[in-house]
Amino acid sequence: MPSGFRFVSRRDKGILRGSELMRAPYGLEIIESCLTCPYREDRLFCNLPPAAVDRLAAIASASSYPKGATLFVEGQAPRGVFILCTGRVKLSTSSADGKTLILRISEPGEVLGLPATVTGKPYELTADVIEPTQANFISRQEFLLFLREYGEAALRVAQQLGETYHSAIAEMRTIGLSHSVSEKLARFLLDLLANHDKAKGEAKLTLTLTHEEIAQMIGTSRETVTRVFGDFKRKQLLQVRGSTIIINDKAGLEGLLSS
């Protein structure tokens, strides 16, 4: 059983129906019902017809996880999928000599372990929780039966697999085609910026990843990431205030990218 795993039983679910949000360990607000989830309309897989969502709620087990917990490990036989409700999870792969490459950081709404669960092949990545998280687990057998029963859900699965493919291609482009670490880090920051709201006159990012984790995402060392960040600050491309990064010169970062 994965580290930090905790099932919510059917009986407990019945008791908790009176309040769709329950206080859980790790400071989380557990989303108890898929049908009344406040984020349902915004999420690809969750935004299904009511009958499908009702069935999904019936076969899912809500669990909460602390930072550092592991949902599944690369090479492990697929037990099922984890629908990420809140929190974030890093997906990584490792080489025989211990080097780690982080493929991406999963956001709420994603279905983790999807390729392995659909194909029956081992999990191709390791999924580690990087902040307190809720994920709904569905066993492989139940999930495949659900897809056979609801064609709309199967279509959403195909859409997410397509998005995962495009993300992987973008990651390979960043690592394989960038000419320098400065370019890789600039591209990484600009990609993050594209997914954040921009304050008037400046662009802010909240960066929860360590320099080691950023290095694992762009294929370099922690020391090099620290050095390049320092170089960016000296050139006044950005400022760092705790976990907040303020982009002073977006055009300057864009100028580091290869055409």
- pTM (2 d.p.): 0.71
- For 76, residues 6+ apart whose C-beta sits below 8 A from its C-beta are 122, 123
| HEC profile of 88-100 | CEEEEEECCCCCE
pLDDT score at 37: 65
Q: What distance, in Å, lies between the first and last C-alpha atoms of the chain?
A: 47
pLDDT for 228: 94
Tell me which long-range contacts 175-182 makes (C-beta under 8 A, separation of at least 24): 175/218, 175/219, 177/258, 178/218, 178/258, 179/258, 180/256, 181/218, 181/220, 181/224, 181/225, 181/228, 182/228, 182/231, 182/232, 182/256
Higher local confidence (pLDDT), 174 or 56: 56
Q: What is the pLDDT of residue 46?
A: 73
- What is the pLDDT at residue 8? 38
Q: What is the pLDDT of residues 118-171, one digit of tens each?
A: 999 999 999 999 989 999 999 999 999 999 999 988 998 898 888 888 877 777
**CATH no. of 10-175:** 2.60.120.10
Short-list 112, 105, 113, 108, CA closest to 130: 105
- The pLDDT confidence band at residue 218, using thresholds 50, 70 and 90, is confident
pLDDT at 179: 75
Give the pLDDT band (50/70/90) at residue 32. low
Asked if residue 56 has pLDDT above 60, the reply is yes
Q: What is the mean pLDDT of the chain?
A: 81
- What is the structure's pLDDT at 150? 92
CATH number of 179-254: 1.10.10.10
DSSP element (H, E) containing 127: strand 126-129
Cα(11)–Cα(129) distance, rounded to whole angstroms? 27
Percentage of the chain with pLDDT > 90?
Answer: 36
Q: What angle do CA 253, 256, 258 make, to 5 degrees?
A: 135
Q: In one letter, which amino acid is 48?
A: L
Q: Give the per-residue pLDDT at 24.
A: 55
The answer to whether 208 touches 130, Cβ cutoff 8 Å, is: yes
Q: What pLDDT digit, counting tens, does each position of 61-103 carry?
A: 988 999 999 999 999 999 999 999 888 999 999 888 878 888 8
pLDDT at 17 over 60: no
- In SS3 terms, 152-203 reads as HHHHHHHHHHHHHHHHHHHHHHHHHHCCCHHHHHHHHHHHHHHCCCCCCCCE
Say if residue 188's pLDDT is above 70.
Answer: yes
Residue boundaries of the structural domains of the chain: 10-175, 179-254
Report the C-alpha gap between 149 and 220 in whole angstroms.
Answer: 45
Checking if the pLDDT of 18 tops 60, the result is no
**What's the pLDDT at 2?**
44
Predicted local confidence at residue 206, as pLDDT: 80
**Better pLDDT: 245 or 204:** 245
